[in-house]
Amino acid sequence: MKKNILHLDLDTFFVSCERLIDSRLQKRPLLVGGTGDRGVVAACSYETRRFGVHSGMSMKVARRLCPEAVVIRGNSSIYTKQSHLVTEIIKEKVPIFEKASIDEFYADLSGMDKFFGSYKYASELRSTVIRETGLPISFGLSANKIVSKVATGEAKPNNQLRIDHGFEKSFLAPLSIRKIPSVGTKTYQILRNLGVDKVSVVQQMPVEMLISALGVNGRTIWKRANGIDNPPLIPFHERKSISTERTFTKDTIDVKKLRTTVFAMAENLAYQLRKGDKLTACVSVKIRYSDFNTYTKQLKIPYSSADHIIIPKILELFDKLYQRRLLIRLVGVKFTHLVSGNYQINLFDDTEEMLNLYNAMDTIRGKYGELSIQKAASIGAKTIGRFNNPFNGEPPIVLAHRKQ
């Protein structure tokens, strides 16, 4: 059976949400992000892009490039709510779908042609989303995820595009190699140095040449350029919570040790959120005393996965909860009300330096291990805890302080 994979992308999602709230922003240049000069652009309208503005740019630079733009701080809870509405519509209409991010979805419509027609069904699904949410959305439909994603990009803004079976290669050929997913700035520069600009050039190259220039990633780019890469669709399952606990080998009343342990647990769980592209809206702390009496306190927070937002709340909860001054047997930290989303959308007040710090620390953790870099305040316990990574199916991770 021929595959029919649908890719849906909400156009300039944060901007569209803001325009739903205030219709006066329609067709006006709009920047969403940190409102200070040291803030970062989280999203920008199409009207600003012709001035060279793009997401991730310094707000100061963006305002200089497009001084007439309206700047809005943004509200992540509103964006999460709108994303949930779209998710529920898709969940009701298609049997299998993947939520790739807060504003991006894949759905498997294979076999639909026998009864209804995949393209017609996708068109009606898109119309339903627009009608029920008021948000613009684009889609691409093809034989695999990669070509569908590229097709969506070509269809934007607020449009749709189908690539018929057998035409994947000819569709991709005239496009810039930058349109291929996984071709970032560094890879693009390497390819440009080789004289490669269009996808058609890669299609004519031996795969061995790309492997020689780009390593293992060269084979992936060659396959995607030829429209034959077919990564699996990961069925959507909304994880509701993530937690970790520490049972001490000897009951303790050492407050400094307890706070250090709780700090480290919160720090590592926040990293797990970012790693899994998740946000939390509720944090809690659990204490079990030596007499086995157990107490829990929780606190609702704006959707976030940022250390500097979450960790102070966790320590605040611990200080309120630990009142009996008895020996403690166990402490735990838990994040609930999880939703899909990128942690940067919550950092509207933060500086570009802060975002770069998060990215750098998470990159080091991803390359050298989760304990390869830690904040000084989290160092002190030999064994911090054990928890399951709920986002990638890996086995339980034992967190341990690495002695220098």
pLDDT per residue over 44-75, tens digit each?
Answer: 999 999 999 998 888 999 999 999 999 998 88
Percent of the chain with pLDDT over 70: 83
pTM assigned to the model: 0.64
- Specify the pLDDT at position 371: 58
Look at residue 359 and tell me whether its pLDDT is greater than 90.
Answer: no
- Nearest-angstrom CA–CA distance, 146 and 228: 9
Q: Is 47 an annotated catalytic residue? A: no
254-299 residue pLDDT tens:
999 999 999 999 998 998 888 877 889 899 999 999 988 999 999 9
Average pLDDT across the chain, whole number = 84
Strands 397-400 and 383-387: antiparallel
Confidence band for 385, pLDDT divided at 50, 70 and 90: very low
Residues sharing a CB contact under 8 Å with residue 112, sequence separation 6 or more, in sequence order: 4, 118, 121
Q: How many CB atoms lie within 10 A of CB 355?
A: 19
Which are the contacts of 344, defined by CB distance < 8 A and separation ≥ 6?
40, 42, 355
359 vs 14, higher pLDDT: 14
Predicted local confidence at residue 52, as pLDDT:
94
Contacts 24+ apart (CB under 8 A), 126-134: 126/8, 126/160, 128/89, 128/93, 129/8, 129/86, 129/89, 129/90, 132/85, 132/89, 133/82, 133/85, 133/86, 133/89, 134/20
Decide: 217 and 312 in contact? Cβ < 8 Å: no
Domain residue spans of the chain = 1-165, 166-236, 241-400
The whole-angstrom separation of Cα 222 and Cα 229 is: 9
pLDDT for the residue 382: 42
What is the pLDDT, as a whole number, of residue 81?
86
| Residue found by looking up tokens 């779209």 in the block | 86
Give residue 202's pLDDT: 94
Six-digit token string for 281? 């809206």
Hey, what amino acid is at 283?
V
Question: Catalytic pick from 92, 104, 132, 168?
Answer: 104
- The pLDDT assigned to 177 comes to 94
Q: How far apart are CA 251 and CA 261, in angstroms?
A: 14
Closest CA to 121 of 90, 166, 86, 148: 90
Give the angle subtended at the CA of 239 by the CAs of 234 and 240, to the nearest 5°.
165
Beta-carbon contacts of 68 under 8 Å, excluding residues fewer than 6 positions away, are 29
**CA–CA gap between residue 160 and residue 129 (Å, rounded):** 13
Task: Return the closest-CA partner of residue 123 out of 84, 162, 79, 96.
Answer: 162
pLDDT digits (tens, 9 = 90+) for 80-102: 889 989 999 999 999 889 998 88
Rounded mean pLDDT, 157-181: 94
Residue 318: how many CB atoms within 10 A of its CB?
22
Cβ-Cβ contacts under 8 Å for 279 (sequence gap 6 or more): 76, 80, 273, 303, 304, 305, 338, 339, 340, 341, 343, 345, 346
Identify any residues that bridge with 286 across adjacent strands, giving them in sequence order: 296, 332
Q: What's the pLDDT at 400?
A: 33
Query: Which has the minimum average pLDDT: 34-48, 176-190, 341-355?
Result: 341-355
CATH dotted code for 241-400: 3.30.1490.100
Cβ(19)–Cβ(166) below 8 Å: no
d(CA 56, CA 352): 9
Q: Is residue 40 pLDDT above 70, yes or no?
A: yes
Band (345; pLDDT cuts 50, 70, 90): very low
pLDDT on residue 347: 44
Tell me, what's the pLDDT at 381?
Answer: 46
Q: What is the pLDDT of residue 346?
A: 42
The residue with tokens 């529920």 is: 88
The 3-state DSSP class for residue 287 equals strand
pLDDT of residue 349: 54
Q: Tell me, what's the pLDDT at 120?
A: 93
pLDDT at 223: 94
Q: How far is CA 158 from the centre of its chain?
A: 22
Cα dihedral 357, 359, 362, 363, rounded to 10, equals -120
Euclidean distance between CA atoms 358 and 373, whole angstroms: 11
Lowest mean pLDDT among 19-23, 48-52, 198-202, 353-357: 353-357
Q: What's the pLDDT at 392?
A: 38
Q: Categorize the per-residue pLDDT at 115 as very low, low, confident or very high, splitting at 50, 70 and 90.
A: low
Q: Can you list the pairs that 88-93 forms with residues at least 24 positions away whose Cβ atoms lie under 8 Å?
A: 89/125, 89/128, 89/129, 89/132, 89/133, 90/8, 90/125, 90/129, 91/236, 93/125, 93/128
Does 1-165 carry CATH code 3.30.590.20? no
The half-sphere exposure of 298 on its side-chain side, counting CA atoms within 13 A, is 12
Domain 166-236 has CATH 3.40.50.2300: no
Give the integer Cα–Cα distance in Å for 296 and 283: 11
pLDDT per residue over 135-163, tens digit each? 999 999 999 999 999 999 999 999 999 99
Q: What is the predicted pLDDT for the residue at 232? A: 85
Place of tokens 């769980």: 269
- What is the pLDDT at residue 350? 54
